[in-house]
């Protein structure tokens, strides 16, 4: 498996984990929670056999050891023996599986309501790992067919995983700054009665794996 990733922050203070920014109103840097959660997730993977990493156990262990204030969405995906993909996802970070030019699986989005995702954390309205289903800037700004087209073009041009991640991240970033763009976030806002035009400025993280 070849992996590549690209991250575009919405401001200099952002971190490449999706901490929930609403905590800033209470003087809390949610990025600290996300950073501790992802670090604990990494440590949890190291105590499991390389080809048998259970993402649910990883998230459960990481959550139990994360003590910083804040909350975060989460997405952990592992490739196990026999090329079996296993994933755990909480919130509006998402993933999809593309095979031979078709989307064969896409993770469901988890929202309490419009722009209010499920999240892990230490407040009353946060989820627990066991509520997670089998990880926004990309999917808020690009439709699935745009992502599919970019991935398919990358395969045709024999681009590496990192190059494909860069192309998707850049397209999502340009769209996020376009006030006239038609985006999934705009359509979702209209369905919720909010009527927000154009793209949505947000952290954008894209990870591409070619198996």
Write the pLDDT tens digit of every residue in 77-130: 888 877 888 888 887 778 899 999 999 998 877 654 444 445 565 554 555 444
Residues in the chain: 211
Last residue of a domain, one of 83, 112, 135: 135
Is residue 2 located within the same domain as residue 44?
Answer: no
Q: Where are the alpha helices (DSSP H) in 94-193?
A: 137-141, 144-156, 161-176, 184-191
Least confident of 43-47, 53-57, 76-80: 76-80
Is residue 105 located within the same domain as residue 5?
Answer: no
Q: How far apart are CA 81 and CA 2, in angstroms?
A: 16
pLDDT of residue 119: 58
Is residue 39 located within the same domain as residue 59?
Answer: yes
Distances (CA, A) of 106 to 3, 7, 96, 111, 144: 18, 21, 4, 16, 9
Is residue 41 located within the same domain as residue 121?
Answer: yes
Write the pLDDT tens digit of every residue in 152-194: 999 999 999 889 999 999 999 999 999 999 999 899 888 888 7
Least confident of 21-25, 37-41, 156-160, 202-206: 21-25
Q: How far apart are CA 147 and CA 70, in angstroms?
A: 31
Is residue 121 located within the same domain as residue 95?
Answer: yes
pTM: 0.74
Is residue 131 located within the same domain as residue 143?
Answer: no
Q: Among 133, 122, 112, which residue's Cα sits nearest to residue 63?
A: 122
Is residue 93 located within the same domain as residue 145?
Answer: no
211 compared with 10, residue with greater pLDDT = 211
Round the CA-based radius of gyration of the chain to a whole number and report it: 17
Q: Among 128, 134, 45, 131, which residue's Cα sits nearest to residue 84?
A: 134
pLDDT of residue 80: 80
Classify 118 as helix, strand or coil: coil
- Tell me the DSSP string of 69-100: SSEE-EEEEEEETTTEEEEEEESS---EEEET
Is residue 114 located within the same domain as residue 29?
Answer: yes
């Amino acid at each position: 498996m070849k992996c590549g990733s690209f991250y575009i922050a919405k401001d200099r203070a952002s971190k490449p984990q999706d901490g929930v920014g609403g905590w800033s109103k209470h003087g809390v840097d949610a990025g600290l929670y996300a950073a501790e959660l992802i670090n604990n997730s990494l440590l949890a993977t190291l105590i499991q056999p390389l080809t048998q990493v259970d993402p649910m156990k990883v998230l459960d262990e990481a959550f139990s050891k994360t003590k910083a204030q804040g909350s975060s969405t989460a997405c952990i995906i592992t490739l196990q023996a026999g090329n079996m993909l296993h994933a755990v996802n909480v919130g509006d970070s998402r993933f999809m599986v593309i095979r031979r030019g078709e989307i064969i699986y896409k993770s469901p989005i988890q929202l309490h309501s419009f722009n209010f995702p499920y999240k892990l954390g230490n407040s009353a309205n946060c989820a627990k790992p066991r509520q997670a289903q089998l990880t926004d800037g990309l999917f808020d700004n690009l439709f699935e067919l745009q992502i599919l087209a970019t991935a398919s073009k990358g395969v045709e041009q024999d681009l590496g995983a990192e190059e494909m991640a860069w192309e998707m991240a850049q397209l999502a970033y340009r769209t996020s700054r376009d006030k006239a763009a038609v985006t999934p976030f705009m359509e979702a806002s209209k369905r919720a009665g909010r009527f927000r035009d154009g793209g949505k400025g947000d952290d954008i993280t894209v990870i591409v794996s070619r198996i």
